Amino acid sequence: MSRYALKIEYDGAPFAGWQRQVRQPSVQAAIESALTRLDPKDHNIAAAGRTDSGVHATGQVAHCDLSRHWDPFRLSEAINYHLKPLPIAVIACARVADDWHARFSAVERRYLFKLMSRRAPLTVDRGGVWQVKNPLDPAAMQAGADHLLGHHDFTTFRATVCQAPSPMRTLDELRIEEVPTHAGHLLHIHVRARSFLHNQVRSFVGTLERVGSGAWQPDDVKSALNARDRAACGPVSPPHGLYLSHVGYTDDPFA
């Protein structure tokens, strides 16, 4: 038995999320089906993060166990062949130790959220950016985001169905970046932590959008955090602007 790490990119729009579900298309099921064409058996791959319905990835990581040894490049090419025409691609592959785990070996995860302020409908970026029509103040958004950095009880910013045993998390980065464009006012919101709660990033973004629009003041984010009450959260952003962009490991298998 040989274990392989897969770095995966996908458009989340056609899928009900990463995790395999009954009678619903998922990224996990699609990759497992491709693997079955190469190694006829039941596959159960593990991923670094279970993205929700509609969420994209440019740096998801999963691992699989195969009955025979493969050259990593040939394996990635074979998987991609059997994934066509689905919007999923293995962009890197590496042989790893038998005890290496895509989820439990990870030391950080990074998300990118794309938020566009413009009046005209989106065309090229449609389905990959959250569009709002009101102007946004990125400086105010950053001031609000700064209240969330560090180790906190994030009950306010996690879904009520979140199954994590504790709401305590350490947020290492929440940075608002203005991206030059002639098509509108584009913001990239960079978020980094060892692990996240269910809907935590989208809850952050929806709340910060309220700050950027002037509906909230930056200090209102601190009040919402301290409330430790889901009802104090701003609206949750839609999934289609969110990307799992990177998973970090002490020894990067793709280096």
Backbone torsion region of residue 199, taken as left when φ is above 0, otherwise alpha when ψ lies between -120 and 50, otherwise beta: left
Catalytic machinery residues: 52
As a whole number of angstroms, the distance between CA 156 and CA 200 comes to 9
Q: 92, 31 in Cβ contact below 8 A?
A: no
Pairing verdict, β 185-193 and 168-179 = antiparallel
151, β-bridge pairs: 170
Please name which of 122, 131, 129 lies closest in space to residue 13, comparing C-alpha atoms: 129
Q: 208, 22 in Cβ contact below 8 A?
A: no
As a whole number of angstroms, the distance between CA 172 and CA 112 comes to 14
63, β-bridge pairs: 5, 46
